[in-house]
Amino acid sequence: MAAFSDYLENWVIDFFLRNTAFTPPATVYVALFTSSSGLESNNPTAEVSGGAYARQVCALDAASGGVSANTSDITFPIATADWGTVTHIAIVDHLTNTTWGTNVNVLMWAALDTARIVLEGDRLKFDAGEIDIQLA
């Protein structure tokens, strides 16, 4: 993933350098976006919606050398309406909540190497190992 959100950056600093308690989410999810608007500030404005779209669970392998990746395929439902051009993904901390910064948060986000147009009848899938998370 290309970037931590401001939300996660703040928690990392507070947790490690200020001894402030932080409870990480038990499960994280992949969300799809049609632009990067608001992803860094944890207030995105362009999450895909409708047409059977739903965030998907993202299981990650143990980090090694500062890198982790998804352990299994991440398969979104078949689109029952056009989703538009998906340009970005984010790892978020809740499956269904929609009030960004209150009951769901962007943890990290990235632009796709290649934008993907999702039309009615399409199914978007990320193969195991395709989503890399790396700290630099």
pLDDT in tens, 109-124: 999 999 999 999 999 9
Across the chain, what does the average pLDDT equal? 96
- Phi then psi for residue 42, to 5 deg, are 65, 35
Residue in 124, 94, 127 with CA at minimum distance from that of residue 34: 124
Length of the chain equals 136
The domain segmentation of the chain, as residue ranges, is: 3-134
pLDDT in tens, 22-37: 999 999 999 999 999 9
**DSSP one-letter code for 62:** P
Check pLDDT > 80 for residue 136.
no
pTM over 0.75: yes
